[in-house]
Structure 1
Amino acid sequence: MKQLLIFCLLVWLFINYGNCIEHDSSVVINLKHALSGGPNPVFKDRGTITIPSLRLSQAVVHQKRLTDVERIQIQKLANDNDLYRINATVIANDEIERSFISTIKACMLAEAELDDRLSVSVDYMGRVIGVSLVIASKATCEGSNVSIDKLGEFTTNVYVRHTETGIIPDTATYIDKLQKEKEAKERDDHKDNRSFLAKYWIYIVPVVIVMVISSATNPEAQGGGQ
């Protein structure tokens, strides 16, 4: 039982401390966006985000200014109450690529004047497990027509969110509970569940024998009572 407790503690320490301390890496995120609606959007290059250290959560953002055609396309998406979509391809140190698609309402992006937030979720192993686009402003999509002059360039802030450690399991209490349940079961198994006669026959039989012998040796007493 003690060995099981030690093993559980070692596993917990490895997961919650070893990985969080040792695993730190850089990633490059290639951003593409779709400036047309419909079920089959065409994604075009939007920019590149470099995160030198996921632990320090610092990012370098490179995005080009939008052309007049691209501004009109975003404005049209907003006016049509359509969706604005991004495709974020994450390239880690091991050169493994993972792609994540995120969508928001184009009118919210336009009303925020292209001021958006990119949330990068990282697990305890230092792997990016999600990229989400968020609008931090109070855009409400009330139908206001945003001027094309205000849709010139994205202003993007990147936030790296690490997976939080869950509640520490009370392994010792759980193992102690299992041990007590086992001992209680063993006690129940050793209980004497025999009937009254089975338990005390050794006392009852001699009494019966004495009574039979006594009756057989005193027939006069039986006859006198008739």
Structure 2
Amino acid sequence: MIFGSSSIFIIFIAAIQTAYTSSLEHDGSLFVKLEHYLDENNEPVERGNISVQSIRIGQTQVYQNILNPQQSQMLRNLASSNSFYQIRAIANGKPYISSVKACMLAEAELDDRLSISLDYAGRVVAVSQIIASKSSCEGATVPLDKLKYFTTNVYVRHAEMGPIPDTASYIQRIEREREAKERGEGKDNRSLFAKYWMYIIPVVVVLVISSATNVENGGAGAAN
């Protein structure tokens, strides 16, 4: 079977539409391990994990460890030194780092937001931490008993899809053009003058003016 160029292009467009549809219908689960840095010079320690039961609707469960007194003090030290608090989220074997001011997290009493960004196929592309209740640090000293329990909301964000190609209308237009060519409706049967009058008329005018000028010049020479 031999396909024309238009047929190949139509098949290509249809494949794109199928890919769009299948990606929108895809669902699955996701497991994200959470670690955090409580000291700028130490390795990250386990914070907890996020279980996403449905990436399509963003249904999640969060499990987080309680900070012991030493860890709470380390976090407060980060805040007092105006340092950054970092988390490391590990999904599908890949780490994603995000950071906020430690003083903002401390003054929010460990109330934060985690945003998991997915691409069109449901793969993780970023994990970001946000302190929604604070936009800056006020310099307050938070008691250690307020720095024990994380209160975290998780949001699953999907990549926004572009408009799906309107393959049905395109295929119909291609078919109409092909049928018109087969019937000869696309041929231009106009005369040569009708096709190119906008080029012919200026040339004729120039020739007429040139001929009239030559005749006048010739007559003037004969009179002399």
* Length-normalised TM-score, structure 1: 0.68
Bigger shift: residues 115-124 or 160-169: 160-169
- Higher radius of gyration, 1 or 2: 1
The correspondence for 1:158, drawn from 149, 154, 158, is 154
Counterpart of 1:18, as a letter, is S
Q: Which residue of 2 aligns with 1:19?
A: 23
100-109 or 137-146, larger mean C-alpha shift: 137-146
- Deviation per CA, 1:83-105, whole angstroms, max 9, x where unpaired? 101111114xxxxx121111111
Is the contact made by 2:17 and 2:165 (CA closer than 8 Å) also made in structure 1? no
Q: For the residues of structure 1 that align with 2:121 and 2:135, how far apart are their CA atoms?
A: 35
Give the TM-score, by structure 2 length. 0.68
Q: Distance in 2 between matches of 1:117 and 1:10?
A: 40
Structure 1 equivalent of residue 72 of structure 2:
71
Give 3-state SS (helix, strand or coil) of 1:71's partner.
Answer: helix
Q: Does the 8 A contact of 2:23 with 2:120 survive in 1?
A: yes
For residue 7 of structure 1, report the CA deviation from its aligned partner: 2.9
Cα shift at 1:6 = 1.4
Q: CA deviation at 1:127?
A: 1.1
Deviations 1:8-49 (A, max 9, x none): 42133123212221x321111111100012xx5410011111
CA distance in 1, matches of 2:161, 2:64: 34
**3-state secondary structure, aligned to 1:62:** strand
User: Residues 98-126 of structure 1: CA distance to partner in whole angstroms, max 9, x if unpaired?
Assistant: 21111111011011110011100111111
CA distance in 2: counterparts of 1:85 and 1:138, whole angstroms: 17
Is 1:105 the counterpart of 2:71? The answer is no
Q: State the shift of 1:166 in Å.
A: 2.1
Q: Give the aligned residue type for 2:89.
A: A
Instruction: For structure 2, list consecutive stretches of 5 or more residues without a partner in the other structure.
Output: 175-224
Preserved CA contact (<8 Å) 1:54 1:126: yes
Cα contact 1:82–1:106 (8 A) shared by 2: yes
Partner residue in 1 for 2:121? 125
Residue pair 2:20, 2:164 contacting (<8 A) in 1 also: no
Amino acid at match of 2:94: R
The Cα of 1:75 is off from its aligned counterpart by 0.6
Report the 3-state secondary structure (helix = DSSP H, G, I; strand = E; otherwise coil) of the residue aligned with 1:10: helix
2:13–2:165 contact (8 Å) kept in structure 1 = no
Correspondences of 1:201-216 after superposition (within 5 Å): none
Which sits farther off after the overlay, 147-156 or 76-85?
A: 147-156
CA distance in structure 2 between the partners assigned to 1:153 and 1:102 by the alignment: 19
Q: Is the 8 A contact 2:87 2:98 kept in 1?
A: yes
Secondary structure of 2:142's match? coil
Give the structure 1 partner of residue 37 of structure 2.
34
SS at match of 2:104: helix
2:14 aligns with one of 10, 31, 34: 10
* Pairing 1:46-195 to 2, within 5 Å after superposition: 46-91=47-92, 97-167=93-163
Unaligned runs of 5+ in 1: 92-96, 177-226
